[in-house]
Structure 1
Amino acid sequence: MSRFVHNLIEMGVTCSHQISGCTVKEVEEVVRYAGDFRLPDHYLAFLSLMGHGAGQLFRGTSIYYPEPLELNDYAREFAEDDDPDLVTEGRFFFAHHQGYQLYYFDSQHDGVFMHSEGEGQARLIAVDFMRLLQQEATCQAGASVTGYTGKECECAGTSR
């Protein structure tokens, strides 16, 4: 993961002073909140190294601590009130984009999924969390070099 952080800086996505990790206590708090759900090792490393922020990485997406401590409850309320197609059992919701796109891990699959309000079925957006990080970094590096392109960034499923 430290190599990935170095690459973020090289790509111009962040500067070293913008990278802020969670404390051991904060990571433990996320693990406790997840309960019996086993969080991916790369996600835990992400929290440790970048859990409070990493420059433009995930710009516009609420992923940084303490956001993950509220998202499972938010997803349940969202499913009850706004989108009954959203299944919350066996999942850990760790991020959202503007409240209508929810990112989660599924206990039956190593991938990262995104549920968008009104679309019904969630979609696999990355084979694992490390790949999600790489995709997001690539999207943001392109945006920082070329400016806003309006092109779809597969990693976040939103136009940048």
Structure 2
Amino acid sequence: MVELPELTQLHPDIRSIRPVHVHGNASFTSNQVTFNLKIQGDLTLPDARTLDDVIYEFDIESLEPFFLENGRYTEQFDDVNLPEGNTIDLRPIVKELIMLDVPMQIFGNETDKTQVEGEGWSVIDEQPDDQPKIDPRLAGLADLFSKKEDENG
């Protein structure tokens, strides 16, 4: 489990984050270490309608290559990671992957709590009329067409 409380300062929508479960494996070659990561956890985010807290569960899988020799990597990867000295720190990568997974909007399950009235406003549920309203300026044309149908029919 990894504690990442700094994410609440890095992303404005993240209100809180529980400890994150990070697991995976590493594959070694002569000049590369590739981490196959699975990151799971919960974020508390604001509901897009009510701004109430909503728990967002994430489950991220990522393949992260680290090249041990600078400049000796192939173009098969979009993102190239290089170790700092003799250390490979996965924490910044985990933080980045979580922040990229935060949705732009999230809606909670409780729609009954949605406010339908406030000070000076209310939600109106309008049903379309059975017959379209005719512009009063064109009402004479409607009479003209009905007279023609009577004459022809």
What TM-score results when the alignment is normalised by the length of structure 1? 0.27
Higher helix share: 1
Q: Which has the higher contact order (CA 8 A, sep 6+)?
A: 1
Question: Looking at CA atoms only, which structure, 1 or 2, has the larger radius of gyration?
Answer: 2
What TM-score results when the alignment is normalised by the length of structure 2? 0.28
